Structure 1
Amino acid sequence: MCARLCPPARRGLRLLPLACAALLGLAGAHGEQLSDLRGTTLCLDPASVGVTFEELAPARAARARQEILPVLQRELPASLSRAGVRHEVRPSCAGRDGLTRLEVGVRFLDPRHYLGFGDPAYSYDVGIRVSNPASAGASMAGVVGARRGFSSGWADIHSESRTGRPFEEAVVGWGEEQMRDLIAAWRRDNPSPAERVARLGPLALGLLGLLVGTALTGLGWWVRRRPRPSTAGRSRRPRGAG
């Protein structure tokens, strides 16, 4: 991300804004690094949402934490429940498959060192991952190659002066977007029986219908051709017998 890559400004340096602008293409990175949640039950615990700040004034960091952390902590389990995603809430998910972490990092871009971003400006990254015990202590990128897991993230720069919005709103919005990505991936990897049938496509559904029709036709033919039990030798009571 540009805010992390651009070096601090030095006296007499005039090309820094241009260099940072050239690197802005690196901002806004968004995408899944890993997605394989087949049979996974997500595990949530008090550490499932984490927020960290760098270079923020203590008062602003404390206020931002109260505006970001509780919202994401409430929304993560609520969104999973609404979407029917299989999950459990435990005191601790350490060592368990499906360990889920939503991580937010925000850094204030001091205009003395980062030029041209629209003071006040902040770089932020929001990512969500699901890992198994082998990768539970790994970084976001370290989840890649795990037996089962999911990893997705977004990184960008937010200028409060240019957007007229506090960075807290942008961060919460992208946190909720990461939840939607996770939900979509889980549902894709764990389809319901009806969804499995719908994914077969017209040709496969036609073949399935043909097989079912053939089976029903064969069953009807077998029932009609089945020998009926003989009534010979059975005693019959005469009519009018009491």
Structure 2
Amino acid sequence: MTWPCNSDGNHHFASLSFSRKPKESPTLAKSSKSHLSIFSSPPKSPQNPPDFSELPYDVLARIAAPFALPSLKTASLVCRAWRDALKPLREAMVFLKWGKRYKNGRGGVKANSKKALDCFLKGAARGSTLAMVDAGSIYWGMGKKEEGIAWYRLAAELGDHTGQCNLAICYFQAYPSKTREAIGWLYQASFAGHVRAQYQLALCLHQGRGLEQSLPEAARWYLRAAEGGYVHAMYNTSLCYLMGEAGEIAAAQVKNVILQQLSAT
């Protein structure tokens, strides 16, 4: 075994006094054995596994607020406490389903925006951010922009990425516009993988709206949105590359985007 060197490169040894030889020391031998047992024995599993039912209801409801029905069903199977806590959100999915039917005139019913809004509000009251976003959309379409923004903001604060994107777009269109807040919400949704938010963020970078203009950075966000299937972003990514604005984006990546665009048309 080689001893480590000091900073001057020379070996220095200090004399250590022992009352007896190390090999004859029962204390030392016992200590070595105990150290070996620590490293050789497998770690013990905790006797008490985590109790999921101890998660507070309000925390669970906040986490599950953006869930769609399949995720809610899965979470409800974890334990009885979760099933009971998520009951309002499962009920919200029923109202959300009927709201979309009335909104789009599907499922054997005629389009009725008032009934759709009523269903969405009932779903939103039970904590579903999906219903909040749809309620905000109807209010915005009715010209009641303050109500629309209020529901978008509530959904955004609960972690709904569509709500974050919609809120950002509303802030851009508000008078006076809230550009700084809009950019912040776009970044949150974009980093979470929301393709429409990524496209909107790329537009801001491309046009220098609320951010310093950066065409290479815009091209990177266009590419991310395009890879997620956003058609407008596919076109803009190709255009940036052809005009020499794509920065370090490789030709192979742009080729894949163009092929996606062709298959989507």
Q: TM-score, normalised by structure 1?
A: 0.19
Q: Which has the higher helix share?
A: 2
Tell which has more relative contact order, 1 or 2 (C-alpha 8 A, sep 6+): 1
Point out the structure with the larger strand share: 1
TM-score (norm 2): 0.17
